[in-house]
């Protein structure tokens, strides 16, 4: 599903890594580790098509990222939420923009327990609630490849467990996950360490 | 042209070119100034006509430098070449200088000729707009900290400006026919008396050589600066 | 609802929600219009010839105001990444954002500009023309402005920078729109000027999304 070969990435004049290769099949997950600044986020952004590699190729389902943007979800540090908009409006836009139908959105609201938050402005939400809202688009609009940057960080223990279950379900359903994490993933996953100074 | 795209080859090829261009500029400028002062006085304008020899080439080179900037921006954008970006960046300041020289000498010429420092005539206004383009370009470059991002954003703007300049020129000419200024400008003032041609052409060539010298020197400085930066960062990474 | 309509509605809601950008722009236009007689004197014989021109320039400046947030807020909160992964290419996203800016901010300004011109002493028969010029010019201002806003992403002092980058590009539409009003005031036909203004707006609508998308990609990387 995802194949990265001979990838070199740099930020400004600083080379993050050279000649990195990675393959990810349906049903597999990879935990991406490494020190801060080792290039975890940059690797995820390159796969999503936001960063241009210095060398190497990235293929999602055999296509370059620019052609494959309807087959992946990118969950970054930022939630992409507008403070003055209602949770319901933001969820509705994000889910439908990424291709969800009404049933999918309803399913996501139920799965992530967002119902009581829908008529609140998003600036009233806690960090954990915001993260759940951001996760909703992954559930609402099914896309095979999930690129996740520290997905567990703001969640409390209960929701971490729940996210682990959702990730396991995604893998069982034929999806794949590449997640940058500090702690081990709660699901069976291969590891890729970018190293760097710790 | 593409042979020069390699920075190493560019540095090698242009090394002898730099003193040559500076030398040519100095000689042409000296000859041009001498010709300017030995040219006959204009029967209407008297000695002030000599401002033309400074003014007209400055305006031409101001536009020429923007052409260099715009074309370099195109290559920087399409081929993502660092040297093309250095070329665009290096053309901005000399271009702005030539353009402001044209504006200042235009005002100095206007005062004895038209009795006012400035008239909103189509040509003056076009040059003023060109100067504003340069200011916008340099402001954009200076405001983005990340050098690579600043380079690409500036390249987009440089290219858009290149597309826009003919439109601006057209609109200003159109505007001028609408509001004929009440001044003493003779229409069809482009017909230059043959007696002035040697001085004008020599000054044109001198300005051209001067721009080339400044431009190539600035590109070389920029390439060197980036190399130093890379070396420093490599050293910092090893420390 | 199609993806384009979905994004367009979101952009409109964002421009009106939280702070009411268009209201600020119209307020700016009104304030600027108030300053002119205070600076130039209230004599109608001096104000009236300048009425259309002043209103027109005020419109151009006011349409700059809300541009800063057009891409910046989506860049800051990460929504730009989300927009890039949607069904429409980034060029279309930029075009829709500019179009929504025109409808959200340009439209109220185009309605306010003739009122401002009338207050300064414009002949009432010219008010409809001022509205048409405001609409056409506003389209050009929004698209060119969107390009400036995209270029200024990630820059310090973004708002000021947008003005420095965009105002030289505003010159043709300012000339054509002002020309249409001046010709009509002289009893000539404004059609040629309006046609040129429309042509520039179309040119901006064609070119600016391409350049803006390139600038947005650059800021995202």
Local structure of A192: helix, strand or coil: strand
How many other CB atoms are there within 10 angstroms of residue A193's CB atom? 12
Q: Per the CB < 8 Å rule, is B171 touching C169? A: no
Token digits for C178?
């002002």
Identify which of B103, B152, B146, B106 has the alpha carbon closest to the alpha carbon of residue B128. B103
Tens digit of each residue's pLDDT (9 = 90 or more) over A24-47: 999 999 999 988 888 899 999 999
Q: What is the mean pLDDT of residues A55-76?
A: 91
Cβ distance of B152 and C168 shorter than 8 Å: no
What CA–CA distance (Å, rounded) separates A71 from B92?
43
| B146 close contact with C: CB closer than 8 A | yes
Spatial distance between the Cα atoms of B76 and C134, rounded to a whole number of angstroms: 37
pLDDT at C208: 95
Poorest-pLDDT segment among A127-136, B153-162, B190-199, C165-174: B190-199
Q: Which tens digits make up the pLDDT trace of A145-187?
A: 999 999 998 899 999 999 999 999 999 999 999 999 988 888 8
Confirm or reject contact between C169 and chain B (CB < 8 A). yes
Helix (H, G, I), strand (E, B) or coil at B43: coil
Measure in Å the smallest separation between the Cα of A158 and chain C Cα atoms.
26
Q: Does A14 contact B233 at a Cβ distance shorter than 8 Å?
A: yes
Q: Do C78 and A70 touch (CB under 8 A)?
A: no
Place of tokens 């920078």: C161
- By the CB < 8 Å criterion, does B145 face chain A? no
* Cα(B134)–Cα(B91) distance, integer angstroms: 10
Contact C17 A83 (CB under 8 A): no
Q: Where does A2-82+142-193 sit in CATH, by number?
A: 3.40.50.300
Q: Best interface-test mutation with C: which of B147, B160, B169, B176 has the largest number of C CBs within 10 A?
A: B160
Question: Is the Cβ of B167 closer than 8 Å to some Cβ of chain A?
Answer: no
Domain ranges of chain B: 49-178+199-238
Instruction: Name the minimum distance, in Å, from the CA of B230 to any CA of chain A.
Output: 7
A70–C85 CB contact, under 8 Å: yes
CB contact under 8 A, C168 and B146: no
Predicted local confidence at residue C19, as pLDDT: 61
Report the residue of C4, C8, C85, C86 to disrupt the A interface, i.e. the one with the largest count of A CBs within 10 Å. C85
Q: How does pLDDT run across C1-50, given as a tens digit for each residue?
A: 689 999 999 999 988 876 667 888 899 999 999 998 888 888 888 888 88
Find the radius of gyration of the CA atoms of chain A.
17
Which DSSP state fits A53?
A: -
Q: Which chains have 3+ CB pairs within 8 A of A?
A: B, C
Domain count for chain C: 1
Taking CB atoms and an 8 Å limit, are B160 and C200 in contact across chains?
A: no
Strands A29-33 and A176-180: parallel
Residues in chain C closer than 8 A to A69 (CB atoms): 84-86
Q: Is the pLDDT of residue A141 over 70?
A: yes
* B147:A12 CB<8 A: yes
Please choose, from the candidates B212, B21, B217, B223, the residue with its C-alpha nearest in 3D space to the C-alpha of residue B98: B212
To the nearest whole angstrom, how far is the Cα of A192 from the nearest Cα of chain C? 23
Please identify which residue in the block is written with the tokens 């139908």: A101
Q: Looking at beta carbons, which residues of chain A come within 8 Å of B229?
A: 13
Domain hosting residue C117, numbered range: 3-220
Which residues of chain A from 138 to 197 reach within 8 Å of chain C, CB to CB?
Answer: none
Residues B94-117: tens digit of each pLDDT: 999 999 999 998 888 878 877 788
d(Cα C101, Cα C99) in Å, to the nearest integer? 5
**DSSP helix/strand/coil, A85:** coil
pLDDT tens track for C117-150:
999 988 899 999 999 999 999 999 999 999 999 9
Interface of A with B (CB under 8 A): 12-14
ipTM of the complex: 0.90
Residue B46: the pLDDT is 72
> Do the chains contact at A80 and C82, CB–CB below 8 Å?
yes
pLDDT, one tens digit per residue, over C168-183 is: 999 999 999 999 998 8
């Amino acid at each position: 599903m995802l194949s990265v070969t001979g990838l070199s990435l740099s930020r400004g004049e600083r080379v993050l890594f050279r000649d990195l290769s990675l393959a990810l099949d349906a049903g597999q997950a990879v935990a991406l580790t490494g020190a801060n600044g080792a290039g975890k986020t940059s690797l995820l952004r390159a796969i999503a098509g936001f960063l241009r590699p210095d060398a190497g190729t990235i293929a999602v389902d055999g296509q370059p990222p620019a052609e494959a943007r309807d087959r992946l979800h990118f969950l970054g540090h930022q939630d992409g939420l507008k403070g003055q908009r209602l949770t319901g409006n933001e969820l509705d836009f994000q889910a439908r923009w990424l291709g969800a139908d009404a049933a999918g959105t309803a399913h996501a609201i139920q799965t992530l327990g967002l119902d009581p938050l829908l008529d609140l402005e998003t600036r009233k939400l806690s960090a954990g609630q915001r993260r759940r809202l951001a996760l909703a688009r992954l559930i609402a609009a099914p896309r095979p490849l999930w690129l996740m940057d520290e997905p567990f960080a703001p969640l409390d223990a209960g929701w971490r467990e729940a996210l682990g279950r959702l990730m396991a379900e995604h893998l069982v359903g034929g999806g794949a996950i590449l997640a940058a994490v500090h702690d081990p993933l709660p699901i069976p996953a291969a590891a890729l360490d970018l190293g760097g100074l710790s | 042209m593409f042979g020069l795209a390699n920075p190493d080859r560019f540095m090698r090829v242009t090394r002898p070119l730099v003193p040559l261009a500076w030398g040519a500029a100095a000689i042409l400028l000296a000859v041009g100034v001498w010709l300017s002062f030995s040219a006959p006085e204009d029967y209407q304008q008297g000695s002030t006509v000599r401002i033309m020899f400074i003014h007209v080439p400055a305006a031409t080179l101001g536009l020429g430098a923007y052409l260099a900037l715009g074309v370099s921006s195109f290559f920087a954008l399409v081929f993502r070449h660092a040297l093309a970006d250095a070329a665009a960046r290096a053309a901005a300041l000399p271009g702005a200088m030539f353009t402001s020289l044209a504006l200042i000498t235009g005002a100095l010429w206007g005062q004895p000729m038209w009795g006012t420092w400035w008239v909103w005539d189509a040509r003056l206004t076009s040059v003023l707009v060109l100067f504003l383009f340069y200011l916008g370009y340099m402001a954009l470059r200076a405001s983005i900290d990340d050098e690579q991002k600043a380079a690409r954003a500036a390249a987009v703007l440089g290219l858009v400006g290149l597309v826009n300049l003919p439109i601006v020129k057209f609109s200003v000419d159109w505007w001028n026919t609408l509001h004929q200024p009440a001044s003493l400008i003779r229409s069809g003032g482009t017909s230059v008396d043959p007696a002035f041609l040697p001085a004008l052409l020599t000054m044109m060539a001198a300005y051209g050589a001067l721009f080339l010298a400044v431009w190539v020197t600035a590109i070389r400085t920029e390439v060197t600066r980036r190399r130093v930066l890379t070396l420093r960062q490599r050293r910092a990474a090893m420390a | 609802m199609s993806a384009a309509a979905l994004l367009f509605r979101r952009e409109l809601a964002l421009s009106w929600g939280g702070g009411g950008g268009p209201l600020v722009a119209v307020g700016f236009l009104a304030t600027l219009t108030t300053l002119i007689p205070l600076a130039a004197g209230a004599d109608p014989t001096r104000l009236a010839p300048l009425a259309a021109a002043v209103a027109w320039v005020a419109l151009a400046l006011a349409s700059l105001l809300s541009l800063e947030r057009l891409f910046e807020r989506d860049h800051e909160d990460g929504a730009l990444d989300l927009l890039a992964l949607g069904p429409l290419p980034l060029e279309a996203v930029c075009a829709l954002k500019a179009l929504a800016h025109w409808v959200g901010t340009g439209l109220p300004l185009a309605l306010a500009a003739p009122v401002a011109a009338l207050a300064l002493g414009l002949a009432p028969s010219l008010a409809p023309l001022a509205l048409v010029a405001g609409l056409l010019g506003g389209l050009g201002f929004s698209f060119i402005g969107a390009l400036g806003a995209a270029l200024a992403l990630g820059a310090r002092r973004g708002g000021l920078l947008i003005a420095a980058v965009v105002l030289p590009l505003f010159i043709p539409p300012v000339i054509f729109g002002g020309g249409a009003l001046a010709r009509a005031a002289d009893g000539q036909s404004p059609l040629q000027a309006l046609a040129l203004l429309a042509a520039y707006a179309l040119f901006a609508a064609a070119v600016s999304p391409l350049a803006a998308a390139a600038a947005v990609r650059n800021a995202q990387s």
